[in-house]
Structure formats: C-alpha cells, structure tokens
Amino acid sequence: MTHQIHDIGIAKQIGTYSDAIEVASGLRWLFTSGTPGLERSGKLPSDIAGHAEVAWTHIVAMLESADMTVHDLVKVSHYLLRAEDLPAYVKVRARFLGDARPASMLLLTPALVRPEFLLEVEAIAAKR
Amino acid sequence: MTHQIHDIGIAKQIGTYSDAIEVASGLRWLFTSGTPGLERSGKLPSDIAGHAEVAWTHIVAMLESADMTVHDLVKVSHYLLRAEDLPAYVKVRARFLGDARPASMLLLTPALVRPEFLLEVEAIAAKR
Amino acid sequence: MTHQIHDIGIAKQIGTYSDAIEVASGLRWLFTSGTPGLERSGKLPSDIAGHAEVAWTHIVAMLESADMTVHDLVKVSHYLLRAEDLPAYVKVRARFLGDARPASMLLLTPALVRPEFLLEVEAIAAKR
C-alpha cells in the first residue's frame, strides 16, 4: 500500500480490508463511478462471479488510465443485490486486490440503475 | 469540465456521466450532505420532478456558495426510492448538469431519513 | 469545526449537520471503512444504542490514530436497517459529535455485510 493504514481491530474480524486509510497531502485523486459487471460490448455475464470479474477489470482499467494500481486505492464501496452472492464476490475481489488493503464499505441494495445489474463497485484512489 | 475524464466505455452505455474523474493535487474540496427535494420553506413538492428540481437547485446553491459550478463536480450520488421515478429524475438532472460529466452512482434504497423524501442527491466537487 | 460550513437552510430542518463542508487545499485525509457496532472482542451489543456507541467509539479511535478529532470530520454516512432505530441512533451520534457539524448522509438499507449488524458508520476527515 502507498497509503498509511490505521487498523483498530474491527475490519480484520470481517474481511481483508483496513479500518481506515490516511492519504498524505498533495496527491491527485481518482473517483470512479459505480461500475457494474457490464462488458464494453454491452454483454452481461451470467453469474455473480462473472459480474465481479468484469466490474473489477473495469476498475483496474480506470486505475491504469490514471497511471495508478490497486495499491493506490483508498476506499472501495461494494453494492450487491443478494446476500447469497457475497462469498463468490469476495473471492473475485480478493484476487484483484492481492495484498492491497483499501478501506471498504459493503451494502446490500434492493436495486441498481438497471434491474439486471447484480453488483456495482465504486473506488477512490490517490497517487503523487 | 475542469477535471480529467477517464472513460473506458461503460458509463456511456448507461447515461451521460464519466467512468472516472481525476482531480489534480492542490485543490480545495466541497462535500455536500445527502440533499432531499425539501424546500427552504419546509414544503415538499408533489412529484419526483419537483423533488429533483428542488434538490438540484440546492446542490447548485451550495456550489455557488463555495464559488464553484457544476463543472467542478467530481462525483454525484443519487438515491431514489422507486425505479419508476428514474426517467423523470434523469431528465431534471441532465438539465442541471448541461455538458458537465461527473462520475456517478445511482442507488435504489428502501427509505431515506424521512419516509416522504423521494430522493437525495450528494455531491463532491473540487476547484483551485 | 476546522472546515468551512456552507449552510443553505436545508440540513437545519432535519438534524444537527451542515449542508456542505469546504475543505482547504493541502490537507491530509482519513477515509474509514463502513464501521459496525462490533466490539474488538467480537461481541455484538444487544440493542441499537449499544451498536451506535461501539461504532462511534471506533470512529473516534480511528480519528485519534490519525491525530484527528470529530472537529476534523468532513462527511459522515450512516447506514441503518430499521427506521424505528433512528431516534436512539441520533441521540448517541449527537453525544459523540458535540458541536461538530460534518456533512451527513443517512440511508436505510435492507442489510449490511452481516445480517446481525444494525448499523454502520463511515467517515471522511481532513487535517493539516
């Protein structure tokens, strides 16, 4: 991680993320939109693992476009429709994050902008 | 827009917003609260278009108070109660945003802080 | 408050928070994760007041870890499962915030990352 982690013992009981992240002054920032598992071609994967894979591929592409990586992530928010999708989602997220430990928020929601979207991922990153 | 847009081809399939926004270092920031369509007089409009009009008028007023405009917006989050309100909401939002293209997140929620609020809008902006 | 408040007359109709907060350039930032009322021991309080007390104790601990206080808060988001918990939650929040007036967003959600979590609190703060 390029940012300072402030762990107080809560996040580690729940998942592989940090309780809080401190960002130094003087950095540039990247704010992504809520990003669904929708392919550039307009196709939608058939299951939650596919949605997660596509959404995270987009997040990484946006980071790269700004010359950043997952290690520059400050905060990631995850919006899912169904509680039963959590285990499959978390597995994909872990693969993309590697040892990066951004702050995190996960929310179940009755619906996203299109009813067929199973999830959206939203990220904030910062880098010198 | 005063910020750098990083588009990767997803947002444009869904609406008139950007996939991600990069903000330069050294700017000052404005964070608004979740802002409902509640008038300063305490009155509440009768329909979703009215709620949207009032909420966006408030967002613009807060931007102006900080010597900013919609072109300084980085990220806007939209919280709606009912999926069927989306088309009317999006129409009002488009009118206020003009050609500004902040990053965006739209979420359906079972309820906001008061049950009669049909929506809330929340914005982050930055300017030198 | 160490940040500039931009009030336009909406927030004060609803609660003790600011319509918008302006943050000067050149500060360092703290982003917390969505923080539930889960104790460091793994125990979960029995009611909403207990969840609120524990979650806010964690938020303050993260601020202190970054040499910040509630007066450095810029934005706080509150996620609750049940509308009837609002009065008890707001009472605890008010005690922790004192006269601090960050921007605020409150959302009811069908569920958080674990079904037994009654709330989560998420904060952004900034300080020189």
B 21-40: CB under 8 A from C:
26-36, 38, 40
CB B108 within 8 A of CB A109: yes
Q: Do C114 and A14 touch (CB under 8 A)?
A: yes
Can you give the pTM of this predicted structure?
0.98
pLDDT at A1: 66
pLDDT at C27: 98
pLDDT at B1 over 90: no
Which residues in chain A are closer than 8 Å to B124, comparing Cβ atoms? 31
pLDDT at B16 over 70: yes
**Of B33, B109, B111, which has the smallest distance from its Cβ to C19's Cβ?**
B33
The pLDDT tens digits of the residues spanning B22-80 come to: 999 999 999 999 999 999 999 999 999 999 999 999 999 999 999 999 999 999 999 99
The pLDDT tens digits of the residues spanning C4-56 come to: 999 999 999 999 999 999 999 999 999 999 999 999 999 999 999 999 999 99
**Tokens of residue B44, six digits:** 């509440």
Q: Which residues of chain A have pLDDT under 50?
A: none
Neighbours of chain B (3+ CB pairs under 8 A): A, C
pLDDT at C113 over 90: yes
Cα distance from C23 to chain A (closest Cα, Å)?
Answer: 12
CB A30 within 8 A of CB A124: yes
Crossing angle of helices B48-65 and B86-97, in 10° steps, is 30
Residue C10 falls in which region: left (phi positive, over 0), alpha (psi -120 to 50) or beta: alpha
**Tokens of residue A50, six digits:** 């596919």
Residue with tokens 């509680």: A83
Element (H, E) at C128: none
Residue with tokens 């943050």: C23
Pairing of strands C73-80, C103-108: parallel
Which residues pair with residue B22 across a beta bridge? A30, B4
pLDDT at B19: 98
Question: Binning pLDDT at 50, 70 and 90, where does residue B85 land?
Answer: very high
Reference B115, options B44, B53, B52; nearest CA is: B44
pLDDT at A119: 98
> What does the alpha-carbon distance between residue B38 and residue B54 come to, in Å, rounded to a whole number?
7
CB B54 within 8 A of CB B37: yes
pLDDT at C3: 98
Crossing angle of helices C86-97 and C48-65, in 10° steps, is 30
pLDDT at C1: 67
Q: How many CB atoms lie within 10 A of CB C56?
A: 23
* Complex ipTM more than 0.85, yes or no: yes
The DSSP-derived string for B39-95 is -TTS---SSHHHHHHHHHHHHHHHHHHTT--GGGEEEEEEEES-GGGHHHHHHHHHH
Could you tell me the maximum CA-CA distance found in chain C, to the nearest angstrom? 43
The answer to whether residue C2 neighbours chain B at the CB level (below 8 Å) is no
Amino acid identity of residue A18, one-letter, is S
